[in-house]
């Protein structure tokens, strides 16, 4: 009996030993597999990490190149490496630099004075300046009666502009105006009509408010602008008012033939004398800002 039990025990221990040995062998193989997988994952991670770092370095180099290029452009354009500061500096300089005007007075004035011997350039230029400042002042005050002079076309345009501002509950401001230069830029004779165009460079503090809040512009920075003013000759003011056309041509008062030469003393068709042109027959019909 005891021998049998001993034999069974030996068999059990032997079996257990084999099982343990198998488990150890199995455990060792699994550990090696895990280690291999971890090594592979680690290698992949290292590769990805290096790739990402290289891309970051590449992007950084390109960003640096772009930054250097921007600085070079900023330095060339604005005189400073800081493009934002350069842009602000440029805006400030532009706010102090008057706009240029097309000065054709030397070309057109002799022609105008030939056609209109009574045309006084200095007086007309001062009138043009007064029209411009009073037009803008009328907008600033929301009062069309502030306009110094102008025909119905100009007055109606001013009233329409004020009405548009009122509909939007806007207030448009022009403060501390100063005209730098005002010159003749064009002179057109067509179908008996005569139009003289003035260009004026002006500065002011410009801004628009709504309910007290500034919507556009700045109170503390000048704005340099340029305007065109059209001056037209009207032969018969009463007739013009009746027809509502402020740009009708000049005709002979006797035969109604068109007068091609605005300085003519007699009609070339019927020989009737033509009343000499008077400076007070001129009127301003348009004021427009040139962008």
pLDDT given for residue 61 in this prediction: 84
Is the separation of the CB atoms in 204 and 225 below 8 Å?
A: yes
Angle at 150 between CA 148 and CA 155, to 5 degrees: 100
pLDDT digits (tens, 9 = 90+) for 188-233: 987 667 899 999 999 999 999 999 899 999 998 999 999 999 999 8
Instruction: Measure CA of the first residue to CA of the last residue in the chain; give whole Å.
Output: 122
pLDDT given for residue 28 in this prediction: 64
The DSSP symbol for 260 reads S
pLDDT digits (tens, 9 = 90+) for 16-68: 455 445 544 545 666 777 778 888 888 888 888 888 888 888 888 887 777 77
pLDDT digits (tens, 9 = 90+) for 122-136: 999 999 999 999 999
Of 26-40, 153-167, 253-267, minimum mean pLDDT range: 253-267
Average pLDDT of the residues of the chain: 80
| 5 pLDDT higher than 60 | no
| 250 pLDDT higher than 70 | no
Angle at 243 between CA 242 and CA 245, to 5 degrees: 125
The Cα–Cα gap between 203 and 269 comes to 50
Other C-beta atoms lying within 10 Å of the C-beta of residue 172: 19
Give the burial string for 83-103 (b: 16+ CB within 10 Å, else e).
Answer: eeebeeeeeeeeeeeebebee
């Amino acid at each position: 009996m005891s021998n049998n039990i001993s034999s069974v025990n030996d068999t059990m221990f032997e079996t257990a030993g084999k099982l343990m040995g198998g488990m150890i062998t199995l455990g060792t193989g699994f550990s090696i597999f895990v280690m291999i997988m971890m090594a592979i994952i680690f290698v992949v991670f290292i590769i990805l990490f290096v790739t990402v770092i290289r891309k970051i370095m590449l992007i950084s180099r390109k960003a640096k190149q772009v930054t250097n290029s921007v600085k070079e452009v900023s330095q060339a354009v604005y005189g400073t490496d800081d493009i934002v500061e350069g842009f602000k500096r440029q805006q400030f300089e532009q706010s102090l630099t008057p706009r240029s005007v097309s000065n054709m007075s030397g070309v057109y004035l002799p022609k105008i004075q030939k056609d209109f011997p009574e045309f006084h350039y200095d007086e007309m230029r001062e009138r043009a300046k007064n029209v411009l400042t009073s037009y803008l002042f009328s907008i600033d005050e929301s009062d069309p009666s502030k306009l110094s002079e102008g025909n119905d076309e100009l007055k109606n345009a001013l009233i329409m502009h004020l009405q548009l501002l009122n509909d939007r509950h806007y207030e448009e401001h022009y403060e501390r105006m100063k005209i730098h230069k005002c010159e003749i830029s064009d002179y057109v004779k067509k179908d008996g009509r005569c139009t003289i165009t003035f260009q004026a460079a002006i500065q002011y503090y410009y801004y628009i408010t709504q309910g007290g809040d500034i919507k556009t512009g700045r109170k503390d920075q000048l704005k340099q602008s340029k305007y065109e003013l059209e001056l037209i000759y009207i032969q018969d003011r009463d007739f013009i008012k009746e027809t509502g056309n402020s740009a009708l041509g000049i005709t002979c008062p006797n035969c109604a033939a068109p007068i091609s030469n605005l300085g003519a003393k007699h009609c070339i068709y019927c020989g009737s004398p033509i009343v000499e042109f008077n400076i007070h027959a001129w009127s301003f019909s348009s004021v427009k800002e040139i962008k």
